Structure 1
């Protein structure tokens, strides 16, 4: 185990690994200007919208949270944790973490940030009545206590070198000690909440007391919800809004012809096909391999995602992840092998459970139909059952032998493995159980050597690829649309709109937009 002195010597390496010492890093060069108003259209909105960071679960909530609140750390464009409210995080053993907070940071009501605010914010995730979306992750904390006005000590039940990445999740944003009323937001973020109408709109105005000098360039940002795909794109084309999330791949060419920008961000988000291994045909390993061989990944990439994706290999780390196992043999489309495996296992002429899909799981209906067509070519009958989006995640997902899911990009490889593949994981879609995998997860969290931890992660990917009932055909490229006057956007592996943190980086350049408009072809 590294001593604190040794860790400080290897600080740059450990930061790159999401590890034990965080230090400030230089910001990317830019020439922003202050002022202006921007309207943003997101995809979701309902009366259940909330300003409570712990309970936020939809993209529009996350966008609001990033404007009004700060976390202890912030994830950069490659998902590496960087200092935010905690200017330093140290650990000797990866079990006990010491956080040194920035001094002089103010909440929007004028109160000064102290360790008591951090302790309160973190511990409330463990209260079942709070209904925190990250209670599973927070459960790793044995204790959280203040050690003076600007120092917090977190003790985990087990060591985890990737713990700083957990603190970068937006739900772990810091609120003021004792806050229970979330009719408005009282955070330390770059914008103050001027209006909040659940399901309708939010208005953020720049905070004059924001602790960073190089952020919050806009005077104000309005966020509205437009769930209808065409209406959202038309709002951008007509100039009613300046930015939209979740551009439809089929409309990218149209937006670009109309001189709109489309930002492409490679992410770890994927739509998967899960075969439960505790019930039905998924108990047979040959059946699982046969179904994986029936996925025409290139066809899905071309016809469903229109090329805005990367190839998947039935394990959850995308190709751009620094721990991606490039030596893992690629699963290929092989209908003849699938037919042979199905005949061998006795499933070729059997009536199988239906494929459960839904518009709630991005593009799963289209992928299910493609899989059904490929199955019919080898004499396998697959029935597709489309479930309504409302209630899909609570009533259908993971409840049927064969079904589709949709998993968003995670903050770290450790988090990906822990929440979706460990035996006790809450999102273990195929109900896969591997004692070896569980053992490797524990070992990886204690391993300070980057190359050794990478080797462990490679073996974990191999186990998932070879043994689990999950098929991941592609990783989805996040697409955001914007008017040409918007500057400061750049791709983030965290997903849509720079991991929802776009409000801290954008500015308006109306002069450049005017020049571009004048030079554009008629």
Structure 2
């Protein structure tokens, strides 16, 4: 239902050359690596329901599997479910893979899936995915290797949702997750929250030949400089989330390289349509034409970004509409719309913070351009601490930052639906809302793609949001580490690197 073979092949060709060259090599079995994520806290957890950061996610994908897994185009692929079918996008039938066992030898059963999904609905679980799980009307075993999920309303994206980290499958009845008993490629040897974990190969893993490594030690190092130094001193084989300004140093050191994942992360200029200058659509258009996107890509992101077109679905997403070109940097058009907005000579504050990635630098580039057409932008740099609670969504003109989301529906629902809590510009469009709900229930991929294209055009033309760039995740690694290919949920192969990488002899 979800994809024909030809469509799947076309999507696969969208993977980068990195992925293709990685798969052309023959993986080697054996070896141990040390990996550093960018976060470490005493709240680190092995309970999928409570996982909330890249360190948790990386450990989760070592120890557990989901019913589905998301590939390099964020298309759901079979995992513990060997197939998933629906006739109406409301009732879904998952056929479970035979011969899968947990780390303690217990066979995977439908009861494990029912328990794993339904526990998110219980408020006592305190699941980070409760809002998503609330759509489960029932989850029931309907055969010896079959589970049926019935939703409160149709959602063609259910296989995508179930491919995300919080919905990893655990043993029925589990209350203590510190043993990390799952069906994943590695077994837990040691876990010290906020310090480190050690995982060893699961020789009974259901994927033939995987994983390749014998052991992975994973730590969290919050300081960017400390992570890079640990790598270059030989203490680490792979480190997450390096600053673009350290890229040349890493690439210039023999034996080390950079792994780039182009994703849907973006920093956006938000112009509220209910208050301030953003209430005038000509001001919004003037600001969008003032964005020198190519200069921002080269001088701010140092090339580690793709140019955006003022809507939130990036080119790595299978529903990206390539027929909507980015707005050019055009001072004449910006001046024309600024004149129509008739703002006078008053200063226009634009609120930024280092915590909204590159927002300070983007605002300064726009400020320089604005001076050339008589617009006085006042860049107000706020501290990182408290920015999201005090300034984001509250400032008439200011920047936000959005991390990658697993599906177009999630992204558009959270940030652009008229009643969304995070609808920063307060843009309201009934036609958009209708398209969004209709697309969620549409099982024909071609029709769904057209709906998402129409929504992207509406946002780009009307919403009070400027999205100049989609930002890349940058990881650094020893060149002896092979097998990395991008999965745009985030860095470290969408945090699922463990079963894919190997060490060169």
* Residue 133 of structure 2 corresponds to residue 143 of structure 1: no
Structure-1 separation of matches of 2:354 and 2:60: 26
Give the superposition deviation at 1:96: 0.5
Give the superposition deviation at 1:329: 4.1
* Residue 334 of structure 2 corresponds to residue 338 of structure 1: yes
For residues 9-50 of structure 1, what are the alpha-carbon distances to aligned partners after superposition, in whole Å with 9 as ceiling and x for unaligned? Answer: x743686799xxxxxxxx956522222110111112222322
Structure-1 separation of matches of 2:138 and 2:386: 35
Q: How does 1:70-89 map to 2 (within 5 A)?
A: 70-89=65-84
* Residue 137 of structure 2 corresponds to residue 133 of structure 1: no
Give the superposition deviation at 1:288: 1.6
For residues 284-329 of structure 1, what are the alpha-carbon distances to aligned partners after superposition, in whole Å with 9 as ceiling and x for unaligned? Answer: 2122212212211112111111111111000112234343222224
* Residue 491 of structure 2 corresponds to residue 496 of structure 1: yes
Gap change, CA 1:146 and 1:313, over 3 Å in 2: same
Q: Is the contact between residue 78 and residue 494 of structure 1 (CA under 8 Å) also seen in structure 2?
A: no
Q: Is the contact between residue 95 and residue 147 of structure 2 (CA under 8 Å) also seen in structure 1?
A: yes
Candidates 263, 287, 291, aligned match of 2:287: 291
* Residue 5 of structure 2 corresponds to residue 12 of structure 1: yes
Candidates 444, 448, 459, aligned match of 1:453: 448
Candidates 308, 317, 321, aligned match of 1:325: 321
Structure-1 separation of matches of 2:54 and 2:215: 19
Gap change, CA 1:410 and 1:508, over 3 Å in 2: same
Candidates 155, 163, 172, aligned match of 1:160: 155
Q: Secondary structure at the match of 1:267?
A: strand
Q: How does 1:111-510 map to 2 (within 5 A)?
A: 111-259=106-254, 260-352=256-348, 354-509=349-504
Q: Secondary structure at the match of 1:147?
A: strand
Gap change, CA 1:460 and 1:473, over 3 Å in 2: same
Give the superposition deviation at 1:351: 4.2
Structure-2 separation of matches of 1:411 and 1:60: 18
In structure 2, the residue matched to 1:106 is: 101
For residues 35-66 of structure 1, what are the alpha-carbon distances to aligned partners after superposition, in whole Å with 9 as ceiling and x for unaligned? Answer: 21101111122223222222222111111111
For residues 326-350 of structure 1, what are the alpha-carbon distances to aligned partners after superposition, in whole Å with 9 as ceiling and x for unaligned? Answer: 2224312223433343343233423
Gap change, CA 1:335 and 1:117, over 3 Å in 2: same
Structure-2 separation of matches of 1:12 and 1:377: 53
Structure-1 separation of matches of 2:367 and 2:135: 42
Gap change, CA 1:447 and 1:115, over 3 Å in 2: same
Give the superposition deviation at 1:265: 2.3
Q: Secondary structure at the match of 1:383?
A: strand
In structure 2, the residue matched to 1:520 is: none
Deviation larger for 419-428 or 434-443: 419-428
Q: Is the contact between residue 15 and residue 81 of structure 1 (CA under 8 Å) also seen in structure 2?
A: no
**Structure 2, gaps ≥5 residues long:** 12-21
Gap change, CA 1:197 and 1:360, over 3 Å in 2: farther
Q: Secondary structure at the match of 2:29?
A: coil
Q: Is the contact between residue 73 and residue 318 of structure 2 (CA under 8 Å) also seen in structure 1?
A: no
Q: Secondary structure at the match of 2:301?
A: coil
For residues 398-451 of structure 1, what are the alpha-carbon distances to aligned partners after superposition, in whole Å with 9 as ceiling and x for unaligned? Answer: 233233222222223233223322223343232322211111122223333333
Structure-2 separation of matches of 1:162 and 1:492: 18
Structure-1 separation of matches of 2:5 and 2:280: 46
Deviation larger for 193-202 or 39-48: 193-202
Give the superposition deviation at 1:168: 0.9
Structure-1 separation of matches of 2:326 and 2:208: 47
Deviation larger for 404-413 or 167-176: 404-413
Gap change, CA 1:504 and 1:145, over 3 Å in 2: same
Give the superposition deviation at 1:90: 0.9
Q: Is the contact between residue 206 and residue 219 of structure 1 (CA under 8 Å) also seen in structure 2?
A: yes
Gap change, CA 1:137 and 1:395, over 3 Å in 2: farther
Query: What is the aligned length?
Result: 494
Give the superposition deviation at 1:175: 1.7
Give the superposition deviation at 1:243: 0.6
Gap change, CA 1:387 and 1:203, over 3 Å in 2: farther
Q: How does 1:17-36 map to 2 (within 5 A)?
A: 30-36=25-31
Gap change, CA 1:371 and 1:58, over 3 Å in 2: farther
Structure-2 separation of matches of 1:107 and 1:392: 43
In structure 2, the residue matched to 1:39 is: 34
Structure-2 separation of matches of 1:460 and 1:349: 35
Give the superposition deviation at 1:189: 1.2
Q: Is the contact between residue 51 and residue 185 of structure 1 (CA under 8 Å) also seen in structure 2?
A: yes
Gap change, CA 1:55 and 1:346, over 3 Å in 2: farther
Give the superposition deviation at 1:67: 0.9
In structure 2, the residue matched to 1:92 is: 87
Q: Secondary structure at the match of 1:268?
A: strand
Structure-1 separation of matches of 2:336 and 2:236: 54
Gap change, CA 1:55 and 1:240, over 3 Å in 2: same
Q: Is the contact between residue 166 and residue 415 of structure 1 (CA under 8 Å) also seen in structure 2?
A: no
